[in-house]
Structure 1
Amino acid sequence: MRSEVLIRRTLRVPRVEGPGGDGSTVVRQLDAVLTGVGFVASRELLAHLDGLAPGAALDLAVDVVGAVRELVGDDVAHNAYFIDFPRNVPDTWDFWLSCLRETVTAHGAAVPAGVVNLLSLAGYGRYQHSYAELLAAHDELVASLKDRVTVLHLGGTLAEETTRLYTELAGSGTPLHAADLELLAELAAECLDHPMAIPVRENRAVVNAVRLAHGLPLVAVDTVVDVLRVACRASGGDVTLATPTRFRSFRRSERRVLLGALDAVVSANEGKLGDVARHAEVWKRLAAGLHPYEDDRFVRAREVFDVARGDRVVRSIAGRAEFAFRAGRVADAAGILAKAPGMLVRSLDRLLRTATDTGAVLTGFESVVGEVSGRVLCSLREHVANRSGVDSARVFAGRAKRAWVTVDARLPLPVDVIDRVRGIVDTELAARLSGFGPVVVDPAVLTVAVPLSGKAAEDGFAVLPRGSWSVVDGEVLRFFAYWREQARRTDYDLSALLLDDDFRYRGHVSWTNLRDGEVVYSGDLTESANGATEFIDVPLDKVGATRIVPQVNVYAGEGFDTVAESMFGWMVRDRAQKGAPFEARTVRTRSDLRGTGRVALPAVFSRDAAGRWSVLWTHLYLTGSPNFNQVENNRLTTGMLTRAVVERRYLMVSDLLGLLPGPVTTWTPDLVLTEPVTYVGLTRPDGLPEGSRVLDLGTLNQLVPA
């Protein structure tokens, strides 16, 4: 495992076991470089570098600088179309006319009749100056006390940090996002001899696919779908089973492992065959690669494929419950689902809406609540908190973060029913949260949504889960989007939708409207072979809108999931700071864009009645059109979606901490601690006692009880 990967993921720098010496010169140089990109090394890290031989210290410093620059997006040159941005951005029509005039006068082209294609105009959509020329046109950034400072800590050895991160990811009680799943696979190959429990099935399948490749038996496989996930992952497919996988040819040894695992599952519990029909077509395609009828040692495994082909009928619990629902036998449906407690919880709203005796349903739920995972209970608690009324709209977000909006046609649940459900859930969660010991919490983490799934966020720097709120404390907010095409011309458009208190349209900024009052767009770039960056400047004290919704539209070319690189982020600075359009130490967050839709909606910025700004993280994508997506065309859908996500009540870290049996101490920089504590915050502070447990952004999902 490369140390840069560990640094980016954990903000811990692996300890070097190299020759001692005087690394003080390297320390001074590193400190200056880190300051320029908004980072600082902890005292322990500086002392470690200072005691290394210059060569070893320099090698480590190079890894550190490379990792943090990539983390905040400073590893690429962020040029802007208009060299003076945000100053001297022209009026939209004046700019277009100047491009037309340049095409006619300087290049001798004829004035086209009818509609003018902007892409055919000289200079439109392509940088007219180098990155060096852009930097020369801007004053140096003036330092501010509000500039971001992120602390890098000293970790263990490279081997220790590798094992530690593997343990965190594999042992996660919540599903991981795509980037962490790939990282887990890389770590698993180095930690094959590190046994541990892997509670989430998708994560387990990634580890088992690595074990399969190394000729090792699968671990903790107890359903047939577990084996199917492994086969998909081993074929380079989707471990979530949401998209079809083209299965590869498996080696004879791999077939034995997979068929043996299926045989063991069915032998232990024939009822597991009920899970086959849901993925019948996938099983049929897998049969062509596994040849299950050729090996007489795995007779029970053949039954899986018999069910998939329809030669044998086995009804699942979900199927039997659905049959009872359709027959109006709600009590019978509840009894059937009680055999699968997690499924019962996921159907609880429907049961409570349709049952004539909600008390019996709740009693049944209470009897099995101890068998339900903490993640599912947390999801239920958030769900019922939003069921006392009819929502303005229902927003659905799939595993790929693609959102769609529809009318909420459900009847509300009675308040007393909601209170009973919440009481049952809170009692169970409180019992499971009793082992944290003394807890110290950074107030900034209280409004972070509990990370129930890594799929509700993106990989990047200082990225919070969907539903989290955080304060925006500067005078000027600047969005940026960067992308680099892979195989064909790709045109993304950074835009901002401006809404009022009632989420009604007030204006927008995009390539079709370079200015809206003081809100300014940096100019349209239409090709990105060498990368392209677009910016939007928002003076927060001068904008008239109450809600600002940045979005990135795929106008043409590759999507977010196929482009070579794509990222979104924002900077905050004081108006007097000036500086280049992109300044790393003013970056508050940088997130990847890796959804399957054609319109990205990463966040919503809101102003309260007192004029204070805050941001809600959304991490959503709209399907959009195959090409030519524009902010004007999706403003109604975006406005409806924005209202729904802003008005929703999310399960926050403060909700879970409120269930802890003991007191919770608020962290302040001058707080003196003498005994180990559990610290909950966005980042790890200096000065925690030895033996303290830290739950930060990378490990906050450990707050979710098992």
Structure 2
Amino acid sequence: MKNDIYLRRSRKVIVMQEQHTLPDTYLATALKNISALGFTFSPALMAALRTLSIFSFVKWHKKLTKSLKKLVGAHVQYCPMYPNFPQQVMEASEAELYLEALFHYLTEELPALTPDKREPLVDQIELKVIELGDEEDFRQMMRKLIEANTSISETDKADLAWTIEHEEQVEKLLPAVIPQKEQIGFVAAALLRCGKTDAALIRPYFKTATDVLRLAVALSDGDVSLAASTPFRKFKRAERRLLLELLEQCSDITEDMLRYRERWIRLGEILHPSEYKQRFASCHAAFDVLRNNKPFETFNRNVEEALRYFDTDRAVEHLLERPGEFARRLDHLLRLEGNDFDWVVSFFDSVADRVATPVLLQVMAHFKHRQQANELRLFFPKGNVAKAFALPDSRFPIPSDACESVVNICENILLVRFAKQPDMGKVFIDERLQHYMVPFSQRSASKALRTLVRGSKLSMPAGDTIRFFLWWKEGKVEGKETGRTDIDLSAALYDEKWNYMEHISYTNLKSEKYVAMHSGDIVAAPKGACEFIDLYIPSIVAYGGRYVVTTLHAFTGQVFCDLPECFAGWMMRQYPQSGEVFDPATVVDRIDLASNTQISIPVVLDLKERTVIWCDLALTRNPNYYNNIESHQTGVVAMGKAMTAMAKPNLYDLFRLHALARGELVERAEEAQTVFSPQHGITPFDVEAIMASFLAS
């Protein structure tokens, strides 16, 4: 399991070296086997494997192969409706396609089509290198997850929980400070479940009442982001005392508890604070205010009231007490003041050094692009589901001088802050990192072959045909049958101005204008089912096409998290008729679909720029229509427009600030001691290191 986590997160593995000499034939065979999956070993890893006995190596290799197959989606069998896809679909008439689809809908059996012998894969594959790792590096990787200054995903939490349970020296995982509030509750709960902590060890992490609420939620297997309510389980007496003890040590607990009043009332019914009113007097008094609705003036109420009456002076007076909140409301304040903005900016300048690094970076990027005219604004509500909302941008403008002043304030503070960190020497930053977003919030990120941040733009590998794939299975989940399950893979094509051109889906298996086709609509998956879409890029661009939005629709209404397994991804092919329809060596990305939704948008393609925009988004279906691409065109277009125009902090700007503050920029990677690039040195996929080391306050 440790190597599974290590391989997926860092493309590294641990080898328990021995004193043997492995015959070359075994190592060569292993290299041949994993090359078919798109991987190879580094020289250091090969040297370590040569020390193993044949028995140890074969055992290790079996586990590795199983993990690699799972990573790229090669652990299941792919039987598309048309086994000779794509040629078979291209050559079939509309009548043939219709009759074969009708046969399948009536019988749920695939048409009796004979697969031809396919030519071997002739595409040139760039193999992904697996490096040699070690126990300490793995431990530091997981420690950086705990130290992350942003929220982490459910996959991250699962990896951390396993590591905490199996780590013998768990104290080495724990930093002095856990900066992100959600991690505090989750990590403390994981430690408590394993019996690896006590109140003395975790007490320093808890500063606010909401920290304690998150712990109670985590112990009840709930959403520590608090975006959704959690039914609390019954706590043991020792757990009740611990929660009350942690709450008692926090300051200003009444106001903080009022933010989540109803949840605290429900939790209080389980904690019974009145039993400990002498020992935990502050807790008892706070619960008394909540339960009996006693008057209590709060910070947020004062700020909201001031803004409601356009009393900027009073709002700023309150916001000076909480610089982070001041930063988040700065756009609103500047809109209210118009050209008389100097005094608001001046007050922000006086407290900006107390604003967290992630917030400063977001404020800086926001005001850097504030003057740009955008049709839509994109919002990602807090929570474990990757939902997004796009609304018309109707905000009043802000003077350019005000925007420039705010950007300069943020940049100057960040430079001073970053200068306190260790020197990086000569630094090279690849300009392509401008297309990769900073990982501020990963809580709703799906498990994938590569960890990416929404809005990041990846260059397509060489090849003219992009092949999307989908695999799902119906069956039993936690004792409940899913019933017949039909998931549909679709792709909608748009021009430069987002005008609809065509879609490829179960309702339109092939295009008459472009080289684009679907492998056939499968409507049941008792043994697993798959669908593919091929898009020949030059043919679409030649007709004025630019954008492609890929979507996945649960036609039969199940949410993705209620399926035994469901995942999607894409391959790049130059010779699509060669090799198998699903060839693991050509897989570029694979993503698990496990959200509590019925529509997913994995990626958007910009064919003109040859980029893949990572979305990993969920849409809400319209209950009055069939769940397919035709019924959700408005939402699909809105998400596509918003994702392609999204202006968020990018990694190039973040690393540049670090280089200016604590290094020397150079123009060639060969000259540098520290390298930032998509493939070498610190990459966009080193999410743990970025969140912990480069977003530190």
Q: 1:395: Cα distance to partner?
A: 2.1
1:284 and 1:308 in contact (8 A); partners too: yes
Match for residue 118 of structure 2? Answer: 138
Work out whether residues 444 and 470 of structure 1, in 8 Å CA contact, stay in contact via their aligned partners in 2. Answer: no
Cα distance change, pair 570–153 in 1 and its aligned pair in 2 (3 A): same
Aligned with residue 616 of structure 1, among 588, 606, 613: 613
Aligned match for 1:451, one of 423, 439, 442: 439
**Aligned mates of 1:682, 1:374 — CA distance in 2:** 23
1:678 positional shift: 2.9
Quickly say closer, same or farther: Cα 1:272–1:360, change in 2 above 3 A. farther
1:206 is the counterpart of 2:147: no
Match of 2:632?
Answer: 634
Structure 2 partner of 1:681: 677
Q: 2:465 aligns with which of 468, 476, 486?
A: 476
How many angstroms does 1:576 deviate by? 6.4
Q: What's the CA shift for 1:98?
A: 4.4
CA distance in 2, matches of 1:64, 1:348: 51
Q: 2:499 aligns with which of 504, 508, 529?
A: 504
Q: Which residue among 353, 361, 382 is the counterpart of 1:378? A: 361
C-alpha change, 1:94 and 1:333, in structure 2 (3 Å) is same
User: Contact 1:24–1:49 at 8 Å: present in 2 too?
Assistant: no
Distance change (3 Å), C-alpha of 1:604 and 1:298: same
The one of 466, 487, 496 aligned to 1:492: 487
1:550 to 1:694, Cα distance in 2 relative to 1, 3 A: closer
How far off its partner does 1:164 sit? 2.0
Q: Secondary structure at the match of 1:455?
A: coil
Q: Specify the alignment match of 1:113 in structure 2.
A: none
Cα-to-partner distance string for 1:597-645 (whole Å, 9 max, x where unaligned):
322112111133xxx4212122221111358311111112221331222
1:666 deviation in Å? 5.5
Alignment partners' CA distance in 2, 1:181 and 1:377: 26
Q: Which residue of 2 aligns with 1:704?
A: 695
> Is structure 2 residue 530 aligned with structure 1 residue 540?
no
Corresponding position of 2:144: 168
Q: Secondary structure at the match of 2:395?
A: coil
CA contact (8 A) 2:73 2:590 kept: yes
- CA spacing shift, 1:273–1:679, aligned 2, 3 Å: farther
Distance 2:235 2:592 in 1: 34
Give yes or no for contact 1:681–1:696 (8 Å, CA) kept in 2.
no
Indicate the residue corresponding to 1:34 in structure 2.
34
Q: 1:161 to 1:402 in 2, by over 3 A?
A: same
8 Å CA contact 2:605, 2:611 repeated in 1: yes
Alpha-carbon offset, residue 463 of structure 1: 4.0
CA contact (8 A) 1:483 1:528 kept: yes
Secondary structure of 2:130 counterpart: strand
Moved more, 22-31 or 543-552: 22-31
Matched-pair contact (CA < 8 Å) for 1:618–1:645: yes
Q: Distance in 1 between matches of 2:455 and 2:324?
A: 23
Confirm or deny: 8 A CA contact 1:393 1:407 kept in the other structure: yes
Aligned to 2:427: 439
Query: Which amino acid is 1:548 matched to?
Result: V
Equivalent position amino acid for 1:170 in 2: I
Q: Which amino acid aligns with 1:193?
A: E
Please give the alpha-carbon distance, in whole angstroms, between the structure 1 residues aligned to 2:301 and 2:526.
51
Aligned partners of 1:442 and 1:667 also within 8 Å: no
Q: Partner of 1:110 in structure 2?
A: none
Partner letter of residue 476 of structure 1? T
Aligned residue for 2:560, secondary structure, equals coil
What are the residue-to-residue correspondences of 1:95-114 with 2, within 5 Å?
95-100=97-102
Mapped to 1, the partners of 2:50 and 2:121 lie a distance apart of 29
Structure-2 separation of matches of 1:555 and 1:310: 48
- Partners of 1:613 and 1:440 lie apart in 2 by 25
Q: Report Cα offsets for 1:9-35 as digits up to 9, x if no partner.
A: 221111314453325343212211121
| Structure 1 stretch displaced more, 528-537 or 302-311 | 302-311
1:546 positional shift: 1.1
How has the CA–CA distance of structure 1 residues 417 and 200 changed in structure 2, closer, same or farther, with 3 Å as cutoff?
A: same
Cα deviation for residue 389 of structure 1 reads: 4.0
CA distance in 2, matches of 1:31, 1:129: 37
Number of residues paired by the alignment?
A: 661
Among all aligned residue pairs of Structure 1 and Structure 2, give the percentage whose two residues are the same amino acid: 28
Cα distance, 1:61 vs. partner? 2.0
- Structure 2: gaps spanning 5 or more residues: none
Separation (CA, whole Å) in 1 of partners of 2:347 and 2:94:
64
The AA in structure 2 aligned to 1:153 is: E
Residue 500 of structure 1: how far off its partner (Å)? 0.6
| Alpha-carbon offset, residue 428 of structure 1 | 1.6
Aligned: 1:178 with 2:154:
yes
The one-letter code of the counterpart of 2:690 is: L
Paired AA for residue 633 in structure 1: S
For 1:573 and 1:634, the matched residues in 2 are separated by 29
Q: What displacement does 1:211 show?
A: 2.7
Judge conservation of contact 1:78–1:533 (CA < 8 Å) in 2: yes
Matches of 2:590 and 2:285, distance apart in 1: 49
Post-superposition offset of 1:378:
1.4
Is 2:405 the counterpart of 1:414?
no
Distance 2:206 2:28 in 1: 52
Q: Is the contact between residue 482 and residue 532 of structure 1 (CA under 8 Å) also seen in structure 2?
A: yes
TM-score (structure 1 length as normaliser): 0.89
Task: Please name the residue that 2:288 is paired with.
Answer: 306
SS of 1:605's equivalent in the other structure is strand
Look up the equivalent residue of 1:343 and give its one-letter code: E
Alignment match, 2:309: 327
- How far off its partner does 1:306 sit? 2.1
**Which amino acid is the alignment partner of residue 424 of structure 1?**
I
Give, in angstroms, the shift of residue 274 of structure 1: 1.1
The residue type paired with residue 640 of structure 2 is: T
Equivalent of 1:187, from 163, 186, 203?
A: 163
Name the structure, 1 or 2, with higher relative contact order (CA <8 Å, separation 6+). Answer: 2
Aligned to 2:413: 428
* Residue 520 (1) aligns with residue 498 (2): no
Instruction: Work out the CA distance in 2 between the residues paired with 1:99 and 1:560.
Output: 24
Confirm or deny: 8 A CA contact 1:212 1:257 kept in the other structure.
Answer: no
Partner of 2:126: 148
Describe the SS at the equivalent of 2:605. Answer: strand
Q: Distance in 2 between matches of 1:141 and 1:165?
A: 37
CA contact (8 A) 1:37 1:584 kept: yes
Letter in 2 for 1:650: K
Distance 1:272 1:539, change over 3 A: same
**How much has 1:479 moved relative to structure 2?**
0.8
Structure 1 spans left out of the alignment, 5+ residues: 103-117, 686-692
Kept after mapping to 2: 8 A contact 1:99/1:122: no
2:345 match: 362
What is aligned with 2:269?
288
- Partner letter of residue 468 of structure 2? F
- CA deviations on 1:393-433 (whole Å, 9 max, x unpaired) are 22222232212222222112221111111111111222233
Q: Could you say what secondary structure the match of 2:378 adopts?
A: strand
Q: So what's the TM-score if we normalise by structure 2?
A: 0.90
The more displaced of 197-206 and 403-412 is 403-412
Letter in 1 for 2:459: V
**CA–CA distance in structure 1, aligned partners of residues 245 and 171 of structure 2:** 21
Asked whether the 8 Å contact 2:388–2:617 carries over to 1, the reply is yes
In structure 1, distance between residues paired with 2:388 and 2:225: 18
Q: Using a 3 Å threshold, how does the CA distance of structure 1 residues 695 and 379 change in structure 2: closer, same or farther?
A: same
Residues 678 and 484 of structure 1: is their aligned pair in 2 closer, same or farther, counting only changes over 3 Å?
A: farther
Change (3 A) 1:566 1:666: farther
RMSD across aligned positions (CA) = 2.3
- Measure the CA separation in 1 of the matches of 2:286 and 2:526: 48
Deviation, 1:694, is 7.2
